[in-house]
Amino acid sequence: MKVAIVHDTVVDTDSLDARDVLAQADAVAGALLLLGHDVSRIACSLDLAGIQQTLQDLKVDRVFNLVESIGGQGRLIHLLPFCFDAMPLPYTGAPAEAMLLTSNKTLAKRWMAAADIPTPAWIGPWPGGHGTVQGGNDKKRTWIVKSVWEHASIGLGPQSLIFDATADTVFPGLAERAASLGGACFAEAFVAGREFNLSLLAGENGPTVLPPAEIIFDGYNDAMPRIVDYRAKWDETAFEYHHTPRRFVFPSSDSDLLEGLNAIALKCWHHFGLAGYARVDFRVDGNGNPFVLEINANPCIAPDAGFAAALEHAGIAFDDAVRRILTDAC
């Protein structure tokens, strides 16, 4: 089979989070070659018609879609899948509609709320509407300000937290933060507690939920917010990078919690119409109540990323995972 790996255009001056897609493309290309496929690679630009023409000229049978942004804009991530649909050409990962719904975080939260999938209260987006606030606008709480469109924890750090504030006082301040968060942002009620990631992989009989991973905030003092921020993900010189390991082994007392996270992850997969692979990020409060933070429709599958770690703990070879993702292509 002729398979084209399509990924972001990356230059040497790009940030680590942007260049990470090349590690994903390398790993996927190696797996596809081992599986016996004819592999080509295409860097995606804003010339979508040109990409369509290149795919037609190459007589590609299927696309392995690794595009996370177009022209440096995460908000354009869904455009390429819609182009594939129009050709039509099968592609891996989430369908175009699901990519749009999950990439816009406030839109995703509205869809979750409509399906009774627990998600923290939020304000925003800015620019846009005020959104939903559970419990009233006059309730003081801690908020965390996030980008609406950008992923990889872009713009996330200790400065993202706003303490002891009402929704009405937080919303006007979003305008000042938007520029550093891709131009659009929102505030989410901060869930103090544990953080989990559950990855899912397509299979012949439906999606498999891979072993749950918990992020451990090792050695964090009371002044350090327990969040997986940009430094924790990308800055190898930072304390946070070296003190946020994953764990996959849990005591029996967590069995009910983990079973509940598993069920919610599957509900997210079916409600949003996901395909191929995905990751659902959770926070769990002090009372054991889970909340979905984000649904990552095409999560990072670099060898050092959480998805690959979950595959290893599930006993699934990376090559086999790539085969399953390719088989489930839209």
Question: For residue 137, which amino acid is it?
Answer: N
Q: Characterize 68-88 residue by residue with b for buried, 16 or more Cβ atoms within 10 angstroms of its Cβ, and e for exposed.
A: bbbeeebbbbbbbbebbeeee
- R_g of the chain, CA atoms, integer Å: 20
Q: How far apart are CA 87 and CA 77, in angstroms?
A: 17
Torsion of CA 299, 303, 305, 308, to 10 degrees: 70
Q: How far apart are CA 129 and CA 300, in angstroms?
A: 30
**What's the pLDDT at 306?**
93
Nearest to 186 by CA among 135, 129, 101, 113: 129
**What's the pLDDT at 241?**
87
By the 8 A CB rule, do 320 and 35 touch?
no
By the 8 A CB rule, do 156 and 146 touch?
yes
The reply to whether CATH 3.40.50 applies to domain 2-91 is: yes
Q: How far apart are CA 135 and CA 160, in angstroms?
A: 22
Residues facing residue 284 across a β-bridge: 194, 290
pLDDT along the chain (330 residues), means of 10: 94 77 95 97 93 95 95 89 96 96 94 95 85 70 91 78 90 85 90 97 95 95 88 86 94 97 98 97 97 95 94 97 94
Q: How far apart are CA 2 and CA 7, in angstroms?
A: 16
**What's the pLDDT at 135?**
58
Residues for the chain: how many in total?
Answer: 330
What residue spans define the domains of the chain? Answer: 2-91, 121-189, 192-212+248-327
Three-class secondary structure of residue 163 per DSSP: strand
As assigned by CATH, the class of the 192-212+248-327 domain is alpha beta
By the 8 A CB rule, do 310 and 281 touch?
no
**What's the pLDDT at 265?**
98
Beta-carbon count within 10 A of 134 CB: 12
Tokens read off for 239? 């304390």
Tokens read off for 228? 């997986």
